[in-house]
Amino acid sequence: MDNEKVTNLPLLFACAGGSSVGQLANDACRELTREGKGKIYCLAGVGGHIAGIIDTAKKSEAVIAVDGCGVKCALKALEAADVPVSEHIVLTDHGFAKTAELWPEKATINSAKATILNKMELHS
């Protein structure tokens, strides 16, 4: 993939963990990508120490870490790879409840997207 095309949008690293808020982070970032407001990128590749993925993340103008909960797996993976994080969002800090439900409703996804976009706008 051409680095220039990837880095012209904020890169979104969603935790995608095994809870409601992990899946919410992933779903919201996928939709923001579809809408052209960011580019979801491979957090597993960062955690797996894939050089090309880490290099692209380091070259990006903005790296947004979206964690579902306070464990902060996305942020920690990026920090461990020395990827500078422009903005960090923890969905549970914004009133989203962590449950075992893995399929967030559309209204909840829209609310999470608004939260992420608000933080992204504060950064830019």
Q: Mean of the per-residue pLDDT values for the chain?
A: 92
Angle ∠(72,111,46) on CA atoms, nearest 5: 30
Span 24-39, mean pLDDT? 97
Span 15-33, mean pLDDT? 96
Q: Are 85 and 48 in contact (CB under 8 A)?
A: no
Sheet holding 63-67, edge to edge: 39-40, 11-14, 63-67, 87-90
DSSP per-residue string spanning 36-91: TS-EE--HHHHHTT-HHHHHHHHHSS-EEEEESSTT-HHHHHHHHTTPPPSEEEEG
Total-model pTM: 0.91
Phi, psi at 89, each rounded to 5°: -120, 130
Question: pLDDT, tens digit, for every residue of 39-80?
Answer: 999 999 999 999 999 999 999 999 999 999 999 999 999 999
* Domain annotation for the chain: domains and CATH numbers: 3-123 (3.40.50)
pLDDT interval class at 124 (50, 70, 90): low
pLDDT > 70 fraction of the chain, expressed in percent and rounded: 93
Does residue 9 carry a pLDDT above 50? yes
